[in-house]
Amino acid sequence: MAGKKGFVLCVCQGTCPSFTEMNIFGVLSDVRRAKIFDYVCLHPQLCVGDGEEFLKVLLSGGETQKLYVAACDPQMQCKMFRDAFEAVGFDKAKHFALDIRNKTTEEAVEAIKKLAEENP
């Protein structure tokens, strides 16, 4: 099971104005159908305590080799997820972050596909 590519969509509880232009489930569904990743999932708030726990549980088994996260600013993501990655020994260089705020469904899906293409 080693070497999986995982995708997480994080949406600021779904209430942040930055995510209202897209259909969150439409994005997830389109990305899933494109079969770019081995799995896709949605988390409402990765940067709080239980979000950190989610990342630890998700990555602790070692099956996920690369993690693509569509959410907020990439530099913020790096800082916010660092402790969780370090706790389970996940290489932060294998985290590919994308800012999808203020995008439509189509724009978000295209940006996610591009991220995956550029970081195979």
Binding positions for ligand SF4, rule: CB under 6 A: 10, 12, 45-47, 71-72, 80
The residue among 62 and 73 lying less far from ligand SF4, judged by its C-beta, is 73
- The CA distances from residue 48 to 35, 71, 91, in Å, are 29, 14, 20
CB of 3 to ligand SF4, least distance (A): 25
The residue among 3 and 13 lying less far from ligand SF4, judged by its C-beta, is 13
- Residue 69: which H helix or E strand, with range? strand 64-71
CB of 10 to ligand SF4, least distance (A): 3
The residue among 13 and 119 lying less far from ligand SF4, judged by its C-beta, is 13
Residues composing the chain: 120
CB of 16 to ligand SF4, least distance (A): 6
Supply angle C-alpha 63, 65, 66, rounded to 5: 130
CB of 72 to ligand SF4, least distance (A): 3
The residue among 46 and 112 lying less far from ligand SF4, judged by its C-beta, is 46
HSE-CB at 19 with a 13 A cutoff on CA atoms is: 19
Measured in whole angstroms, how far is the alpha carbon of residue 11 from the centre of its chain? 10
Rounded-to-integer distance, Cα 3 and Cα 63, Å = 6
